[in-house]
Structure 1
Amino acid sequence: MNDKEKRKWRLQQLLQKNKDKLKKTHKYSELFNECVESLGDATIVLSEESGRMIMHELVSIFPLASWGRIDWSKVERKIKVNSPTEIINILGKELDGNDTYFFILWGYSDSPCLKAKLGRIIQYVDGVMRVGTDQFVFCLENSVVIEFYHDGDITIGFAK
C-alpha cells in the first residue's frame, strides 16, 4: 500500500469507528437512526437549540395554522404535488439540483432536526416519513418548504 492508500484506509477505519460509537450511544428512536443512516454521511443531526432556530425561521417565513400545518392561504406561491418524485422535477428548475441542502423538521416528534441533501431526502422519503407525522422539509437559503402532511397532501411553498 502506498501512503495515499494507507491514509484512505485509516480514514475509513476512523469513520466506521465513529459510526459504531454513535450507534451505541445514540438516544433516538431506531426509526430515526435508520433514517439518518439511509440519508448518508453528508447528513447532519442538529442540536436541539439549532433545530429550534430553524423552526423559528420556518414559521417566520411560512406561517403555521392553529392545527399545526402551514397556513397555505397566506402563501402566495405554492404547488400541490401528487408524489415525491414530482418534487425533484419542480425544484430542479428552481434550485441548483438535488445537492441543495434542506432541513427536515417533524411536526409531532421529539427527533432532532436534520440537514440533508434534497435528492437523498426524496430517495428515502418513506424512511423520513416513518420518523414522525407532518414533516417540513425546508431550505432556508432559498425560502422553500415542502410540507408532507399525514393525510397524504404534499405541498411546496415558495417565499421568493
Structure 2
Amino acid sequence: MVVTFPFTNWGRVDWKEIENKTLLKNLKELNEGFKLDLKREYYVIWDEMNLSVIEAKLEDIIDNEDDVVAVGFDTWIVNFEMKTIIEVHHEGEIHIGTLNF
C-alpha cells in the first residue's frame, strides 16, 4: 500500500500529495455524487499488522461501516486497480482520494 500511495512518516496518507481528494462525514456519502462502482471489490486494511486483510464489495463495506472501522484504530479501504484509497482515521476524519493514472 505504501508503495502505491504516499504516506507520512507517522502512518497517514499524505493527502497533500493527492490532488483528487475529498473529506467525508461518513462512508455513506460515497453513495451520493461519487462515480464509484459500488459493486467493485476493495481491500480493507487495518493498522494492526496481525489483522487479516479482507476483500469486499464497496457497497457491503459502506453498509457495515460501523463494524468495519471498529476492528482497528485506523482503517484503509483500497482499490489498487482504480488507484483509490479511503482513510478512516481514528480521530474521525474520513478522506477519499484517487491518484492520477
Q: TM-score, normalised by structure 1?
A: 0.59
The one of 89, 106, 114 aligned to 2:32:
89
Specify which structure has the bigger relative contact order, considering alpha-carbon pairs within 8 angstroms and separated by 6 or more residues. Answer: 2
SS of equivalent residue, structure 1 residue 138: strand
Of Structure 1 and Structure 2, the greater strand share is in 2
- When Rg is computed on C-alpha atoms for both structures, the one with the higher figure is 1
Identity of aligned residues (%): 33
Shift of 1:89: 1.9
Q: Which residue of 1 aligns with 2:48?
A: 108
Equivalences, count: 100
Q: Which residue of 1 aligns with 2:10?
A: 67
Distance (whole Å) between structure 2 residues aligned to residue 116 and residue 90 of structure 1: 21
Q: Which amino acid aligns with 1:128?
A: V
Q: What do the CA deviations read for 1:118-148 (whole angstroms, capped 9, x no partner)?
A: 0000100111111111100001111100000
The one of 70, 74, 77 aligned to 1:137:
77
Shift of 1:109: 4.8
Pairwise mapping of residues 1-160 of structure 1 onto structure 2 (< 5 A)?
Answer: 58-91=1-34, 93=35, 95-96=36-37, 98-160=38-100
Distance (whole Å) between structure 2 residues aligned to residue 75 and residue 123 of structure 1: 26
The answer to whether the 8 Å contact 1:101/1:116 transfers is yes
Distance (whole Å) between structure 2 residues aligned to residue 110 and residue 127 of structure 1: 18
Shift of 1:103: 0.2
Q: TM-score, normalised by structure 2?
A: 0.91
The answer to whether the 8 Å contact 1:85/1:122 transfers is yes
Deviant stretches of 4+, over 6 Å = none
Of Structure 1 and Structure 2, the greater helix share is in 1
